[in-house]
Amino acid sequence: MVSAASIVALGSAPADACSLLSAGALDFIAAGTPAATGAVFFTSVQKEEFWSDPDPVVDAANDTANISYYWGSTSPSSEKYYSEFTKTPSLVSLVTSVSSIAAGDVLVLNKTASYGGHTVIVTGPAVQLTTPMNPIHATTTQWALPIADSTTSVHGCSTIYKDSRWTGTCTNFTAGPGTGYMRLYADAATGNPIGHSWSVTSGATVYWTTGNGARPYVIGRLNSCPLPAPTP
């Protein structure tokens, strides 16, 4: 069996992000497939898009084995994905400029003492807000990031930056897979992502990647898309 490290050595990240992930995420949502968490959602989309076998029993077994092979767990949590994204060598290249984010990238929020972490699949480029929303912080720019995930916490109620899990005029929210938007804060000088809010709505709580109460996150781009099935 080839090693995960040898897959990384195949080359640097491709110019384009893994569109299989973004397209697969939308197909997964359209099919009404359940997923318990954001991490499970990301895992499930990989299984659907990267590997297949005509025998459903064999397919399920292979999918689980492949996830374990690449990520070190049969069902990685967001904390585990964060660890795998930030280690050296890694299966991903980190996207460190908000203007370079593309559909198929994956944003992972790490677990903290008071927060369980979260994982989302990016479905399009981040778009800078020409009119920043509160809270406004000097020396930062704000960006709306379209994402797909599975969550019990709505990504705000906005007519522009919608969460697909609402029905009516934000009257009924159905937890589970769906699309929405998060707001990223970037350093105005470097473009590096340094914070986020759960939604693109005025007054939404901002969490920084460092400091008191921080919720660190990284944005990763798979070095190989799809991840090939390991060979004996």
d(CA 137, CA 141): 8
Number of domains observed in the structure of the chain? 1
Identify whether 2 is part of a domain.
Answer: no
Identify whether 88 is part of a domain.
Answer: yes
Identify whether 1 is part of a domain.
Answer: no
Averaged pLDDT for residues 182-200 = 98
Identify whether 39 is part of a domain.
Answer: yes
Identify whether 4 is part of a domain.
Answer: no
Identify whether 25 is part of a domain.
Answer: yes
Identify whether 231 is part of a domain.
Answer: no
pLDDT category of residue 110 using cuts at 50, 70 and 90: very high
pLDDT category of residue 223 using cuts at 50, 70 and 90: very high
> Which residue range forms the structural domain that includes residue 36?
11-223
Each residue's pLDDT tens digit, 44-81: 999 999 998 889 999 999 999 999 999 999 999 999 99
d(CA 14, CA 37): 28
Identify whether 191 is part of a domain.
Answer: yes
